[in-house]
Amino acid sequence: MPLVTSTEMFQKAYKGGYAIGAFNVNNMEIVQGITEAAKEVNAPLILQVSAGARKYAKHVYLMKLVEAALEDTGLPICLHLDHGADFEVCKSCVDGGFTSVMIDGSHHPFEENVALTKQVVDYAHAHGVVVEGELGQLAGIEDDVNVAAHSYTDPAQVQEFVERTGVDSLAIAIGTSHGAYKFKPGQKPALRFDILTEVQNRLPGFPIVLHGASSVIPEYVQTINEYGGNMPDAIGIPEDMLRQAAGMAVCKINIDSDLRLAMTAGIRRHFAEHPDHFDPRQYLTDGRDNIRDLVKRKIVNVLGSDGKA
Ligand code: G3H
Ligand code: 13P
Ligand code: ZN
């Protein structure tokens, strides 16, 4: 099966009250850990690549790794550009074989965001590629840009944005944020489900995307700190809130930080238990296994996409 777009995945997810996991990939072990888990529970997948990942691994290596995963698993997989900053990077991914791109114009004024997003949609659609846009801005760190405070999505703008741009899905800001430090110690995690409900009412049947949706699973942070790490208190999005969003209009849930924590915890534990090891295949196996276990847990306990491939 060739790479697919997310169109059919989202239609089924919306109707079925579940969400597709969109996992960030940067190297072979991450691709293998994610796809092995999805294969075990028969889940459709979105693998997403950031500008940072393309810089780290090069487009062609990531493309070939994902093609290998496709051949190895036979799963429906969509390959998506995460946070495309401008037309050129989106065009390069469309031309380079991706089936989905995000144009993130969320930091621009509304009219500029509309114009930029429409330019990407026109090009991508002409090449059979789908587009995710964004309205509202998440707090947190992403590609070295640190946004201090949320700028929640204004539900009054979503209909006009979708109609004028022709986007296939829309990322919104309801209180999630990028990175491992989403809430301050002592702060109670909360999401603006009122905004999500209002967006859903204004865009019936339209797929919504949640970025910054890692749960920052405490056992990984504890393992990292137990074995020589020094992470401050890290708090993510509670799993029950993600399940609630997946049952609503949210069809795509983005996860990166949890993958990073799982891999680092596996490798740190490996070195603590085997200080004499220096073969990368030994410690990377533990990192990859942790990613596989994490992704299976996400698919079954949070996303509900198991058995839907
Ligand atoms: O939303 C951003 C993703 O976590 C990607 O992070 O740009 O460091 O690869 P990155
Ligand atoms: P996390 O940092 O919560 O994993 O979010 C990832 C993301 O939104 C990628 O676009
Ligand atoms: Zn994001």
Between the CA of 276 and the centroid of ligand 2 the distance, in Å, is: 34
Between the CA of 22 and the centroid of ligand 2 the distance, in Å, is: 9
Which one-letter DSSP state was computed for residue 140?
E
Sign of the torsion formed by the C-alpha atoms of 102, 107, 112 and 113: positive
- Candidates 23, 80, 142: which one to mutate for ligand 2, based on the most atoms within 8 Å of Cβ? 142
The 3-state DSSP class for residue 49 equals strand
Between the CA of 259 and the centroid of ligand 3 the distance, in Å, is: 14
Distances (CA, A) of 223 to 201, 217, 246: 42, 11, 29
* Pocket flag, ligand 1, residue 213 (CB < 6 Å): no
Rounded to a whole number of angstroms, the CA Rg of the chain reads 18
Strands (DSSP E) contained in the chain are: 20-24, 45-49, 77-84, 100-103, 130-135, 139-142, 145-147, 169-172, 177-178, 208-210, 250-255
Of the candidates 10, 65, 34, which has an alpha carbon nearest to the alpha carbon of residue 296? 34
Of the candidates 295, 301, 299, 297, which has an alpha carbon nearest to the alpha carbon of residue 309? 299
* Pocket flag, ligand 2, residue 264 (CB < 6 Å): no
State the pLDDT at residue 147: 72
State the pLDDT at residue 144: 60
Instruction: Check if 306 is active-site.
Output: no
State the pLDDT at residue 1: 82
pTM of the entire structure?
0.97
* Pocket flag, ligand 1, residue 142 (CB < 6 Å): yes
CA–CA distance, 53 with 57 (Å, rounded to integer): 6
Q: Which atom of ligand 2 is nearest to the CA of 257?
A: 4
State the pLDDT at residue 83: 98
Which one-letter DSSP state was computed for residue 168?
S
State the pLDDT at residue 217: 97
Q: Residue of the nearest CA to atom 3 in ligand 2? A: 212
State the pLDDT at residue 97: 98
Alpha-helix residue ranges (DSSP H) falling in 100-203: 110-126, 155-165, 193-202
Q: What order do you get walking across the sheet with 139-142 strand by strand?
A: 145-147, 139-142, 177-178
Annotated active-site residue in 72, 82, 95, 256? 82
Between the CA of 95 and the centroid of ligand 3 the distance, in Å, is: 22
Residues in the chain predicted with pLDDT less than 70, given as ranges, are: 141-146
Burial environment of residue 202 by CB neighbours within 10 A (0 to 12, 13 to 18, 19 or more): middle
Q: What's the N-to-C CA distance of the chain in angstroms? A: 12
The 3-state DSSP class for residue 234 equals coil
State the pLDDT at residue 149: 79
Residue 142: nearest ligand to its CA? 1
